[in-house]
Structure 1
Amino acid sequence: MIKIQVNKLHTLTGHNDCIYALVEGPDPRFFYTASGDGMVVEWDMDNPKDGKLMAKVAHSVYALEVDKERNLLFIGHNFEGIHVIDLENSKELWSIKVTDQSIFDIKAIGNELYVGTGDGVIIIIDIENKTIKKHIKIGKKSVRVLSIDPSKRQLAIGLSDNSIKIFNLSDHSPIHNLEAHNNSVFALGYAPNKPILVSGGRDAYLNIWDSNAYSLQESIVAHMFAINYLSFREDGKYFVTCSMDKSIKVWDSETYKLLKVIDKSRYAGHGTSINKVLWSSYNHQIVSVSDDRKISIWELQL
C-alpha cells in the first residue's frame, strides 16, 4: 500500500451558512464556492485567505458551473434560475428564470447548459442565444447530480429515485437506465482516460460501472453515511470521495482500494457533513467544503 502524507494547508471562512457548491475556474488557479447564504465567492489558490464576492442572490445556491471557452460562471439560484457571470470583469451578463424548484447540478458542454432540478427535470439552455431549448422530464424525484463523458458525448444523471440515467448528448435520447443504489444518487464521475463511471449515494456505497456497456463491475461499502460527491485527479489515477460522515477518502482508480482517510480526529478535518470535494488541476491540492461553513485545502504527497 502506498504511503500518503496529508497536510492541511488552509481553513477558509467567510460564508454565513452551509457551503453546498464548489467548482474549479476556467483558470484553475481560481475556484468558486456558494452556500445557503446566497453568496458566491472566488478564491485564489496562490493567495487563498481573501475571498472575493462574485454575487449575492436571494436564495441558497447548490450548484455552480463554468464555461471554460467563454470564461463564464453559471450560478444555480434555487427557486429562480440561472445567473451568468463574466469572469473577465466579474459582472453579471444575463440571467434566465427556468424553474421554481431547487437546482441541484449544472453542467456545460459546447453551446448547451444542462440544469438538473428538484422535480425530476433536465432543462437544456442554449448559451449563445440565452434561451431554453428543451425540458426533459426524466423522473418523479429530484435530479441530484450530472456528469459528462465528452469523448462519448454522454450525460449521466443521478436521481433521488436511486437510478442513474444515461443520455446521448447529440439528440438527448435515453441510452441506459441503471438500477444503481438503494437510495438517492449524489455522486457521479467519469474517469479520465478509462471507460469507467463511479457513482455514490445515500446508501454509502461506491459503484464502479464499465461505461462501454454500463455493467456493474464492483460495489464497495465506502463510508459510514451518505457519499455526497467525488472528484478524480486530472490524470485519473486516483479519486476522492466526501461524506456526511465528515470524512474525505482517497481511492486508487485501478484497484478501487482505499488509500487514505482524512477526518477530524487525525487531520483536524471538518466537524460536519462534507458536501463537495475538488481535486485541483492547478496544483493537485484537494479542496473541500462543508456544513461547518468552512473551506479546507489539503496537500497530498502520493
Structure 2
Amino acid sequence: MSRESYFCAMLKHLHTFTGHQNPVYALVKPDMDGIFFTAGNDKGVVEWSLAKMAFQSVKLPVQSSVYYLHLNQNQLFIAERSGAFSIFDLQKQAVIARINAHTKPIFGMATVSRKNELLTSSEDGTVAIWSLNDFEELYRLPISHDTVRCIAVSPDEKEIAFGCKDSAIHIYHADDYSLKAVLKEHTLGITSLAYHPSGKYLISGGRDAQLKVWDGISYQPNTSIPAHMFGIYDIVFHPVLPYFVTASQDKSIKLWDAENFKLYKIVSIEKMGIGHTHSINKVAWSHDGSKLISTGDDKKVMVWALEA
C-alpha cells in the first residue's frame, strides 16, 4: 500500500501471548517465518510463532536475568545481568559458547557485519568488541563512568552511537573505534537510539521522555519532541513505510511519521481500552511490517496489526 493510504494507519490489537512469569526485557524481531524470541527476569529464552499465534518452546534456560537478545544470521546472542553472554546456534539447536564478558550487566548488543564483529555494552561503562569468528575479545572501549545503555550502528556501518546513563551520546568511527563526537542535549540518561534507514538522522530517547533528532552527518541537533510522560525505552523504524514507533515507561506505544515527526497513533489502555499495564520495554515489527510486537514489565507479549 502507498504511504498516502497509511496516513490514517491504525494499530489494532490482534493477540496477547502469556506465559512469562516475570517482566520481559528482551525481544528479537520475527524472521521471515514469523519466529521470534523473548526473555527477561524468569531466566528462560522463549520462542513464539506469529504464523501460528502460539508458544513454541522454552529455547534454553539461562543463569541470570536476560537484558538483551540479538540475532545474527543463525546465532542468537543472549546478554545477561551477570555480565556474561551465551551464543545459541539455531541450526545446531545448542549453546556453542558462553563468554564472561563484563563485570556488570550487559544492556546492549549489535553487530558490524562488514567487520564480522559483535559489540556489547555494559553497566561497567565499557563496550567490548568481539570477533564473530571465534568470539575472542578484540578491543575494549572505556566509554563512560556509568552504564552504556544502548547501541545503534549506522546503516552504512561506518559509525556507531552509544547511549549512556550520564545523558551523553558517544559517536565512534567503526573502522578504528576512534571518538567522533559527544552529544549532550538530554537531561537524563539515554535509553534508546536508532538511525533512520537512510542514515540521514539519528534519533535518541531518554529518561527525560524526550526524543532528540540529530543530523546524520554533522550530528547537530535538529528537532526535540516531548514525546512521552516517562522514559522512552525503544525506538524502531518500520521496515517499508516511513514510520517509526516509540515504547515508553508510561505504558504507551506511539506511531510517528519518520519525515515530519507527526504523531499518528497512541496505543494505550487509556486510548484504546486495551494495552500494557506496566512499562513497555521493547517493540519489534514483523518482517513485512504488517504487525508490531510489544512486551514489558506486565509479562505480556502483545501483537498489533497495522491497518489503513
TM-score, normalisation: structure 2: 0.94
- 2:262 aligns with 257
Match of 1:273 among 279, 282, 290: 279
Partner of 1:162: 167
Contact 2:28–2:71 (CA<8 Å) still a contact in 1? yes
Q: Out of 13, 16, 19, which is 1:14 matched to? A: 19
Residue of structure 2 in register with 1:88 after alignment: 91
Map 1:274-293 onto structure 2 (within 5 A). Answer: 274-293=280-299
Contact 1:30 1:45 in 2 (8 A): yes
Question: Contact 1:25/1:66 (CA < 8 Å) preserved in 2?
Answer: no
**Superposition deviation, residue 281 in structure 1:** 2.2
Letter in 2 for 1:186: T
- Output one character per residue of 1:110-163: Cα deviation in whole Å (capped at 9) or x when no partner: 211100000110011111122111111110010111011131521110000001
Counterpart of 1:109 in structure 2 is: 112
**One-letter code aligned to 1:99:** H
- 2:204 and 2:257 map into 1 onto residues whose CA distance is 15
Q: Percent identity?
A: 35
Q: Does the residue aligned with 1:177 lie in a helix, a strand or coil?
A: strand
**Closer, same or farther: CA 80–215 of 1 in aligned 2, 3 Å:** closer
Cα distance change, pair 230–244 in 1 and its aligned pair in 2 (3 A): same
Change in 2 beyond 3 A, CA 1:236/1:180: farther
- Report the Cα offset of residue 193 of structure 1: 2.1
Paired AA for residue 170 in structure 1: D
User: What are the superposed Cα offsets for residues 209-261 of structure 1, whole Å, 9 maximum, x if unpaired?
Assistant: 11111011100000011111110001350000010110000000111011100
The answer to whether the Cα contact below 8 Å between 1:72 and 1:85 also exists between their aligned partners in 2 is yes
Counterpart for residue 4 of structure 1: 9
Partner of residue 38, structure 2 = 33
Instruction: Give the aligned partner of residue 186 of structure 1.
Output: 191
Match of 1:295 in 2: 301
1:249 and 1:259 in contact (8 A); partners too: yes
Alignment RMSD, CA only? 1.5
The 2-side partners of 1:255 and 1:224 are apart by: 21
In the superposition, relative to structure 1, how do residues 89 and 253 fare at CA in structure 2: closer, same or farther (>3 Å)? same
Where in structure 1 do 4 or more consecutive aligned residues deviate above 6 Å?
A: none
Residue identity matched to 1:222: A
Question: In 2, Cα distance between the equivalents of 1:26 and 1:153?
Answer: 25
Q: How many residues align?
A: 300
Question: Does the 8 Å CA contact 1:59/1:78 hold for their aligned counterparts?
Answer: yes
- Structure 1 unmatched ranges of 5 or more: none
Query: Secondary structure at the residue paired with 1:51?
Result: strand
Shift in alpha-carbon separation, 1:24–1:39, aligned structure 2, 3 A? same
Q: 2:24 is aligned with what amino acid?
A: I
Q: For residues 51-97 of structure 1, what are the alpha-carbon distances to aligned partners after superposition, in whole Å with 9 as ceiling and x for unaligned?
A: 321121121111111112xx100000221411001112321111111
* Aligned counterpart in structure 2 of residue 172 of structure 1, from 164, 168, 177: 177
1:203 paired residue number: 208
Q: Which whole-Å CA distance do the structure 2 matches of 1:256 and 1:283 have between them?
A: 19
Does residue 224 (structure 1) correspond to residue 232 (structure 2)? The answer is no
- The equivalent of 1:98 in structure 2 is 101
Letter in 2 for 1:298: W
The residue type paired with residue 215 of structure 1 is: Q
Tell me if structure 2 keeps the 8 A contact 1:28–1:280.
no
Distance 1:169 1:220 in 2: 29
1:45 paired to 2:50: yes
CA shift for structure 1 position 5? 2.6
Length-normalised TM-score, structure 1:
0.95
Aligned-partner Cα distance in 2 for 1:49–1:267: 24
Q: Is the 8 A contact 2:31 2:286 kept in 1?
A: no
